[in-house]
Chain A
Amino acid sequence: MATLTYKDRSFQGQESETILDCLIRNGEKIPHSCKSGICQSCVMKTNDPVDLVSQKGLKPTKKEAGLFYTCQQSLNKDFEVFDSHESGPPIDGEIISQQRVSSSVVILKIQLDSPLEYKAGQFVNVFRTDQLCRSYSLASVSNNQIIELHVRKVPEGSMSNWLYDSNLLGQKITLSGPVGECYLTQDMENDDLLLIGVGTGLAPLYGIVHEAIANGFKGKITLFHGGLRLESLYLVEELKNLEQTHSQFNYFPVYLLGESKEGFLQGDLVELLKKHEFDLKNTTVMVCGDPDMVKKLKQTVFLKGVSSKKIFSDAFVSNKKV
Chain B
Amino acid sequence: MSSLFENIGGEKAVDAAVDIFYRKVLADDRISHFFDDVDMEDQIAKQKSFLTMAFGGPVNYSGLNMKEGHKHLVARGLNDSHVDAVIELLGGTLKELNVPAELISQVAGIAESVRGQVLGRQG
Contacts and interface: CB of A to CB of B under 8 A. Distances in A.
Interface of A: 295, 298-299, 302-303, 305, 307-308, 311, 315
Interface string B1-35: 00000000000000000110011001100000000
Contacts of A308: 18-19, 22, 40-41, 44
Contacts of A303: 23, 26-27
Contact of B23 (A295, A298, A302): A302
What are the 10 closest A-B residue pairs judged by CB atoms, nearest first? A308-B44, A298-B40, A308-B19, A307-B19, A303-B23, A303-B26, A303-B27, A299-B26, A299-B40, A302-B40
Nearest to B27: A303
B39 interface: yes
B40 A311 contact: yes
Contacts of B27: 303
Contacts of B39: 295, 315
A57 B18 CA distance: 19
Nearest to B47: A308
A292 to B, nearest CB: 10
Interface of B: 18-19, 22-23, 26-27, 39-41, 44
Contacts of A298: 40
**Majority secondary structure, B binding face:** helix
Contacts, number: 23
A295 B40 contact: yes
A296 to B, nearest CB: 10
Given A302-B23, A303-B23, A308-B19, 10 more contacts: A295-B39, A299-B40, A302-B26, A302-B40, A303-B27, A305-B23, A307-B19, A308-B44, A311-B40, A315-B39
A38 to B, nearest CB: 10
Nearest to B60: A52
A295 B26 CA distance: 13
A303 B41 CA distance: 14
A302 B40 CA distance: 9
Contacts of B41: 308
Contacts of B22: 302, 308
B40 to A, nearest CB: 5
A322 to B, nearest CB: 21
B113 to A, nearest CB: 25
A305 B23 CA distance: 8
Nearest to A315: B39
Contacts of B19: 302, 307-308
Contacts of B26: 299, 302-303
A303 B23 CA distance: 6
A298 B26 CA distance: 12
Most B-side CB within 10 Å, residue of A299, A308, A315: A308
A315 B39 CA distance: 10
10 contacts: A295-B39, A298-B40, A302-B23, A302-B40, A305-B23, A308-B18, A308-B22, A308-B40, A308-B44, A315-B39
Contacts of A302: 19, 22-23, 26, 40
A39 to B, nearest CB: 15
Contacts of B23: 302-303, 305
Most A-side CB within 10 Å, residue of B22, B27, B41: B41
B32 to A, nearest CB: 10
A218 B17 CA distance: 31
A69 to B, nearest CB: 15
Contacts of A315: 39
A221 to B, nearest CB: 23
Contacts of B40: 295, 298-299, 302, 308, 311
